Structures are given as structure tokens and as C-alpha cells.
Amino acid sequence: MKRFETVRWGIIGVGNVTEKKSGPAFYKTEHSELVAVMRRNADKAADYAKRHNVPKWYTEAADLINDPEVDAIYVATPPDSHAHYAIESMRAGKPVYVEKPMARNYAECLEMLKVSEETGIPLWVAYYRRTLPAFLKVKELIEEGAIGKPLLINVKLIKVRPERNQKPDEMHWHVFPEISGGGYFFDLGSHQFDYLDLLFGPVKEVSGMASNRAGLYPAEDTVVGTWKHESGITGNGSWCFVGDESTEADEITIIGEKGEIIIPSFTHGPVKVKTNDGIVKMKYNNPDHISHYLIQQVVAELRGDGKCVSTGVSAARTSRVLDEIVKNYYPGKNEVGKMEVS
């Protein structure tokens, strides 16, 4: 792979996720520049470029991909086009950083990995929790034996989403499986399973059940799952996105021989360590742009100065787990581009 002194980035799809979470990190990271953006709506593309001081904007992805002044591509579109744009970029010789989940399904992820291997062009995925201080502290605590041997993982995520008060044409693309691959479980649960992959290694056995309890939209809204990591630790989880505010919950609990660690996935609360000595709470701050540390790692790898911890290979493992848990609800889940809702 070519090494870059300064990495010149182009973004395909400058929607909300790029406004603060990720976009500014590409021009605030040392040895990194944001030189071009693309959005199909010309007015919105031009507005984004103006507000973020980006010199060029496009309405066609192919024009950005083939711009000789763009070294690497960030694909920030919805998942239904991740594979297409990532593959097109890699075939053009451009390294790719793609939003999560990596694609709509595991089969699409495998297509992306195949092209990466064939071309020798690297592929990374935006699972930034692998670089955030609180999540890394939990990893350190486990490795230091703070709760002894890890025995069991419990994940609980119950969130209220806006669809209960919306018409179908007002709903976000996250609840339309032909675009997102699934429902909010794919959007949010993917972060959790990727993080558990970092802590305990790949999942080797997994099963689950998905259903639609509220009937508000096509995607699943309630999910349960069980799994086992190659390291031996087992896990169970429950996810619901149509509950009441009084039922909201956001916890990953890791139970060990000598205590437990609790960390929220999305509410940025403290890490809690419970042992016979009591409860210790530790609070950590995130960067202004939450993807910043991961993007720094991608730039470092492109410069030959380091390695990024979130690769296409690790991200594809997470997509496989998601597919397996909801496959009862989507009979055609593992077929590329094919989605049937039961």
C-alpha cells in the first residue's frame, strides 16, 4: 500500500453523521485534509463545503472517487450503498473508511473484503468505541483481573424512538430493512457487538429471535440473543425500541468471579465496578468529534505510523452476528441485496 505524507480525504454522503461526529475530524487530524465532499443534492453539497471550508464538492460519487487529488474515501451513506461505493473506491486504488454497520448483511461484507484482498487496498469501519477512553478502561480492568475471570455478559438496551408519533413517510431510513439491513438493532446493537469482539474475541456460536411488536414499521423492533465468544465467555442480550420512557435502559454488564463491570453503550455515563469492597464509578470524556481517535488511527496507518483497530475483517464478524440473531425475521438475510420480511 502506498504511504501518504498527508492524506487527502473525500466524503461520499455528507449527512448528519458527518456534521460533528466524524466530518471535522478529517481536517482537524494532523497530516489529514478534507478536500472534497459529495451529496446528490447540489445545494446541500455546496452548503456543507462552504461551512466546513472544503475546496470541492460533487453530486456524483464517481466524480469524487476518480478525483486525482483525493487519496482516500469516507463512505458515510446509508448501508444500502456501502458495498457499492467501497468496492468502487478500492477498485480505483483509494483506501476506504466506511460507516457502520459495514453493510446491510454479512454477504455484502464478504464482497467488500474480497475486493480489498484482490486489490491490496485497506478497508476500515467506523466502530469508534474501540478507541474511546471509558471503553478502553473496561478492557484494561478486565485484563488486570479487576473482577477476576469473566463469566457472563448481559446487554440490555431499551430506547424510545420517534416512530410512534410519525407517519411512514416521516420515518428515518433506519427502520426500512432494504436500506439499513434491519432496524435500530443494526444501527445500535452493531456498536455493542463490535465492542464485545474487542474485549473477548470473535463470537463462535450465536442464536436469537427478532419480532415486530408495535407494528409501526417494516423492521424488527424487539430482539433477544445468546452467544459464546471464542474465549469461552457467554452472553445474552435484549433490545427493544418501542418501549415507554419509564422502561429505558442502556447497560453492558460483565460479570466475573470477583465482581462486575457495568458500562452504558450510548448515554456516556460512568463505568461502574462492583466488588466486595464496594462500588467505584469512573467518568471519562469523549473527544469533541466522537470518531476523532479512530480517524487518527486510520491516518496513522496510511502514513505507515501505526495500525487501526477497526478493520473490515473485525466489522464483518459483527455483521455476521447481527444476521444470525435476526434471521428468523428475515429469511433471505444472507443473500446479497435480497431482503424478505416475515
Q: Give 171-212 pLDDT, tens digit per residue.
A: 999 999 999 999 999 999 999 999 999 999 999 999 999 999
DSSP lists the bridge partners of residue 11 as 37, 74
Give a yes or no: residue 144 inside a domain.
yes
Residues 255 and 240 in one domain: yes
Q: Which three cell numbers stand for residue 325?
A: 440473531
Helices (H) and strands (E) counted in the chain, each on its own, are 11, 14
What pLDDT shows up at residue 2? 83
Give a yes or no: residue 255 inside a domain.
yes
Confidence band, pLDDT 50/70/90 cuts, at residue 19: very high
| Res 341 pLDDT > 90 | no
Lowest mean pLDDT among 69-73, 194-198, 238-242, 243-247: 243-247
Residues 119 and 35 in one domain: yes
Residues 138 and 280 in one domain: yes
Q: What angle do CA 122, 123, 124 make, to 5 degrees?
A: 125
- Terminal-to-terminal C-alpha distance of the chain: 44
DSSP lists the bridge partners of residue 153 as 235, 254
Residues 160 and 275 in one domain: yes
Residues 138 and 281 in one domain: yes
Percent of the chain whose predicted confidence (pLDDT) is above 90: 95
| Domain of residue 203, residue span | 133-285
- Helix axis angle for 190-200 and 133-144, nearest 10°, is 30
| Res 337 pLDDT > 50 | no
Can you tell me the mean pLDDT for 64-92?
A: 98
Confidence band, pLDDT 50/70/90 cuts, at residue 59: very high
Write the pLDDT tens digit of every residue in 126-168. Answer: 999 999 999 999 999 999 999 999 999 999 999 998 998 899 9
DSSP lists the bridge partners of residue 210 as 223
What pLDDT shows up at residue 334? 54
- The CATH number that applies at residue 272 is 3.30.360.10
Give a yes or no: residue 56 inside a domain.
yes
Give a yes or no: residue 315 inside a domain.
no
Give a yes or no: residue 340 inside a domain.
no
Can you tell me the mean pLDDT for 248-254?
A: 98
d(CA 204, CA 324): 11
Give a yes or no: residue 2 inside a domain.
no
Mean of all residue pLDDT scores within the chain: 96
What pLDDT shows up at residue 338? 42
Task: Evaluate whether 265 touches 192 at the Cβ level (below 8 Å).
Answer: yes
CA 300 centroid distance within chain: 20
Instruction: Calculate the alpha carbon distances from 45 to 14, 35, 58, 116 in Å.
Output: 7, 13, 7, 28
Task: Evaluate whether 9 touches 71 at the Cβ level (below 8 Å).
Answer: yes
Confidence band, pLDDT 50/70/90 cuts, at residue 333: low
β-sheet with 123-125: strand ranges across: 56-58, 32-38, 7-12, 72-75, 96-98, 123-125
Residues 215 and 240 in one domain: yes
Residues 40 and 100 in one domain: yes
What pLDDT shows up at residue 1? 74
Q: Which three cell numbers stand for residue 8?
A: 487527502
- The CATH number that applies at residue 75 is 3.40.50.720
Q: Where does residue 254 rank: exposed (0-12), middle (13-18), buried (19+ CB within 10 A)?
A: buried
Residues 139 and 17 in one domain: no
Beta-carbon contacts of 9 under 8 Å, excluding residues fewer than 6 positions away, are 26, 32, 33, 34, 35, 36, 70, 71, 72, 73, 74
| Res 78 pLDDT > 50 | yes
Write the pLDDT tens digit of every residue in 104-114. Answer: 999 999 999 99
Q: How many structural domains comprise the chain? A: 2
- Please choose, from the candidates 149, 138, 150, 133, the residue with its C-alpha nearest in 3D space to the C-alpha of residue 272: 138
Confidence band, pLDDT 50/70/90 cuts, at residue 342: very low
Beta strands at 32-38 and 56-58: parallel, antiparallel or unpaired = parallel
What pLDDT shows up at residue 195? 98
Residues 138 and 115 in one domain: no
pTM here is 0.95
Residues 104 and 185 in one domain: no
Residues 18 and 40 in one domain: yes
What pLDDT shows up at residue 331? 82
Residues 180 and 264 in one domain: yes
Q: Where does residue 301 rank: exposed (0-12), middle (13-18), buried (19+ CB within 10 A)?
A: buried
Can you tell me the mean pLDDT for 298-302?
A: 98
Can you tell me the mean pLDDT for 2-10?
A: 95
